[in-house]
Structure 1
């Protein structure tokens, strides 16, 4: 039986995607409207490109943080993290700069190189 007051363990939630999805984690305050809009917009505009790279977007904004048990490595930090298939942090930034190069960063990863060789899907 679950209760709506139970918190989600963020690290366990991220690990539930291991070896299936790469994760983009956004943790920020509601006052950072620019970062929120840029990140949300990136995921809307680049849906196909993100899908073929197996990107999962976890968005924790403002009071949403109270719904999670936050691991020490994310506690009291704001920004965007790229988390690999292995659950390890690959990149972190406090602004939207990661979004400009995220596809290139992922495409240089060894597993992504194999995926690209085997993948037929293209985005137009």
Structure 2
């Protein structure tokens, strides 16, 4: 019975790494020139171990049209959403209380009217 996998081809220019190879390996920042490292671009996401942030990760449910509108604005949409929420809270301090009682949509409609 023939295998569905192609046969393994060994490349003498690029041999399989052994334990000794892994032990001798060094991080790219230690061995590559700065211009080569710069070509890789910056790392994405939050830096590891950042504890000085005043923000908290949360999970919320947002209407699809609202989410699409922010995402369509490009990079930094989360920050723009945060600024929009900050502006809404600064405009009307009762928004948080209203969200508990009658729903933020109804209260926000009153504020906009």
- TM-score, normalized by length of structure 2? 0.25
- Structure number with higher strand proportion: 1
- TM-score, normalized by length of structure 1? 0.24
RCO greater where, 1 or 2, for CA within 8 Å and sep 6 or more? 1
- Structure number, greater radius of gyration: 2
- Structure number with higher helix proportion: 2
